[in-house]
């Protein structure tokens, strides 16, 4: 079975046709502008009827040749696009594995949904490394500024030129791996050579799509009964979908104690995701990373990673846009078999769905301030507690609105660490969290203070009035 062939279906075919036609048309127009045919057009033509100069031109004939040629070029592009998998030479594609579901193999991200960013010269990060023949690490090794900030060096701009070691995505310096049948988890990827800690394993390639598109697609995939999830976040705005188009990285399974991690790198102005070894990995070991990010699936999948500290489920966070459901409840062999995990095995952070479709952390145990206030002796104390309760509610709703606003950036933080979160986003989040904590502290301290040492009342207030039922309650 040639598993580089694509899914058949109208949208896919239409995409190919559209992108092939666009490329062909682009080529046609640019060749018409800078055109080699103009030489033909201006060249002396064979005589059909001699004029006084001895030559005549036949532009109409040349134009129709150009149009025919243009049409041929468009057709050629459509055909090449549709059969791209056959032309991409990649040693891993030579594997013929029975039973691997079909997908289109690509070895770079697909940008059908937006234009590829062209890096501006001013934006190119140039390191200060100097190549020394006796020190291999000198040419963009661990100490390189670009490496330290997860940016790949730009060829022709790097001072180390051909010795630069920081172009691993661009040169596809992948570790050797092979597919295998992973017990209960479909297919997985094995290391077929020793991989050192920190080493680049491979890029996670797929279609670059917006988060909105990712949400839409995941719902379509769920409705189509697709169980395996291949959508991962790329940055605050976009995701990579390797469901239909991807590379071998799409087969790397999840583990709660993984030997690899995903990292976002900036390569020639575009964000790309790479898989990197967390520790030394020996030949024959399964490669895994933690799917600890927004889970683009309608169902939680029971984790079968076998780690001693397994969290029980795949994906750290369910998406806010879909209701929780449990895949093992469906009668499917790969997603059942075994008892429903106890709640202690559930995801660490439960999210509550709000009416805007966003999600926010569930509040913990709540003090019912109104209820508590009625037991306080003085009106001042009651008012103080109720005022603090109002402030706490405002702080909570402010935090929820900030959360909705910066949710993608929080995702980014959860997946790629704090280095990728903008300072003003972090400040907003910290500010709103502090306001909430302060309001909670004020509320709780006012309750405790007023319960333990109520404010001194004036002597006439303190004097019991006969038959005052309120007083007895106090
Ligand atoms: C990115 S794919 C990994 C490749 C997949 N095993 C395959 O055969 O194509 C993610 C899917 O693999 C399965 N999977 C990955 N890790 C798993 C784990 N630890 N336990 C159970 N299923 C897992 C889940 O179905 C998940 O949606």
Please state the ipTM of this predicted complex: 0.99
CA-nearest of 93, 96, 84, 73 to 26 is 73
**pLDDT of res. 424:** 72
Which H helix or E strand runs over 470?
helix 469-473
Ligand 1: which of 185, 230, 297 to mutate, judged by most atoms within 8 Å of the beta carbon? 185
**pLDDT of res. 260:** 97
Q: Does residue 266 line the site of ligand 1, with CB under 6 A?
A: no
Cβ(208)–Cβ(114) below 8 Å:
yes
CB-CB neighbours of 191 under 10 Å: 21
| Ligand 1 nearest atom to the CA of residue 101, by list position | 9
Q: Does residue 300 line the site of ligand 1, with CB under 6 A?
A: no
Q: Does residue 230 line the site of ligand 1, with CB under 6 A?
A: yes
Instruction: State the Cα–Cα distance between residues 351 and 358, nearest whole angstrom.
Output: 10
Q: Does residue 242 line the site of ligand 1, with CB under 6 A?
A: no
| Distance from residue 12's CA to the centre of ligand 1 (Å) | 24
Ligand 1: which of 253, 275, 291, 299 to mutate, judged by most atoms within 8 Å of the beta carbon? 253
**pLDDT of res. 141:** 93
Q: Does residue 251 line the site of ligand 1, with CB under 6 A?
A: yes
| Distance from residue 314's CA to the centre of ligand 1 (Å) | 9
**pLDDT of res. 70:** 72
How many Å from the N-terminal Cα to the C-terminal Cα in the chain?
83
Task: List the chain residues with pLDDT less than 50.
Answer: 1-12, 39-40, 43-44, 46-59, 84-92, 94, 318-363, 462, 464-474
Helical segments of 1-144, H only: 10-33, 37-42, 59-82, 84-87
| Distance from residue 316's CA to the centre of ligand 1 (Å) | 14
**pLDDT of res. 98:** 75
Q: What is the pLDDT of residues 303-338, one digit of tens each?
A: 999 999 888 888 655 443 333 333 333 344 444 333
| Distance from residue 231's CA to the centre of ligand 1 (Å) | 12
Cβ(302)–Cβ(327) below 8 Å:
yes
Q: Quote the mean pLDDT of the chain.
A: 75
**pLDDT of res. 432:** 86
**Residue with CA at minimum distance from ligand 1 atom 13:** 185
**Residue with CA at minimum distance from ligand 1 atom 27:** 228
| Distance from residue 186's CA to the centre of ligand 1 (Å) | 6
**pLDDT of res. 340:** 35
Phi-psi region for residue 7, left (φ > 0), alpha (ψ -120 to 50) or beta?
Answer: beta
Has this prediction a pTM greater than 0.90? no
Pull the structure tokens for residue 449.
């203070």
CA-nearest of 282, 289, 259, 94 to 192 is 282
């Amino acid at each position: 079975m040639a598993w580089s062939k694509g899914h058949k279906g109208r949208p896919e075919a239409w995409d190919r046709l559209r992108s092939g036609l666009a490329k062909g048309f682009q080529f046609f127009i640019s060749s018409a502008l800078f055109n080699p045919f103009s030489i033909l057009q201006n060249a002396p033509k064979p005589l059909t009827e001699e004029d006084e100069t001895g030559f005549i031109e036949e532009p109409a004939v040349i134009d129709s040749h150009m149009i025919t040629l243009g049409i041929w070029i468009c057709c050629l592009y459509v055909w090449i696009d549709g059969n791209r998998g056959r032309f991409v030479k990649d040693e891993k594609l030579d594997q013929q594995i029975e039973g691997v579901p079909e997908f289109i193999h690509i070895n770079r991200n697909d940008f059908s949904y937006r234009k590829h960013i062209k890096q501006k010269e001013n934006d190119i990060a140039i390191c200060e490394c100097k190549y020394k023949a006796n020190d291999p690490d000198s040419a963009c090794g661990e100490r390189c500024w670009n490496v330290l900030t997860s940016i790949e060096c730009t060829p022709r701009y790097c001072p180390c030129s051909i010795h630069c070691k920081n172009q691993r995505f661009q040169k596809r310096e992948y570790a050797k791996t092979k597919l295998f049948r992973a017990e209960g988890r479909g297919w997985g990827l094995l290391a077929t050579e020793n991989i050192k800690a920190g080493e680049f394993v491979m890029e996670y390639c797929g279609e670059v799509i917006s988060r909105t598109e990712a949400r839409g697609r995941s719902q379509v995939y769920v409705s189509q009964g697709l169980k395996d999830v291949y959508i991962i976040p790329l940055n605050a705005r976009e995701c990579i979908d390797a469901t239909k188009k991807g590379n071998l990285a799409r087969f790397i399974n999840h583990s709660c104690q993984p030997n690899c991690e995903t990292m976002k790198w900036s390569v020639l102005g575009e964000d790309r995701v790479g898989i990197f070894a967390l520790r030394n990995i020996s030949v024959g070991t399964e490669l895994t990373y933690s799917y600890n990010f927004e889970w683009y699936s309608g169902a939680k999948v029971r984790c079968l990673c076998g780690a001693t500290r397994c969290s029980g489920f795949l994906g750290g966070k369910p998406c806010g846009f879909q209701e929780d459901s449990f895949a093992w409840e469906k009668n499917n062999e790969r997603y059942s078999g075994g008892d429903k995990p106890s709640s202690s095995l559930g995801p660490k952070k439960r999210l509550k769905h709000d009416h805007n479709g966003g999600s926010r952390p569930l509040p913990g145990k709540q003090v019912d301030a109104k209820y508590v206030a009625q037991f306080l002796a003085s009106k001042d104390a009651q008012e103080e507690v109720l005022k603090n309760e109002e402030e706490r509610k405002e702080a909570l709703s402010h935090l929820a609105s900030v959360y909705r606003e910066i949710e993608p950036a929080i995702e980014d933080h959860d997946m790629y660490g704090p280095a990728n979160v903008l300072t003003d986003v972090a400040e907003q989040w910290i500010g709103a969290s502090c306001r909430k904590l302060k309001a909670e502290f004020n509320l709780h301290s006012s309750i405790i203070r007023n319960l333990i040492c109520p404010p001194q009342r004036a002597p006439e207030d303190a004097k019991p009035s006969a038959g005052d039922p309120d007083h007895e309650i106090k």
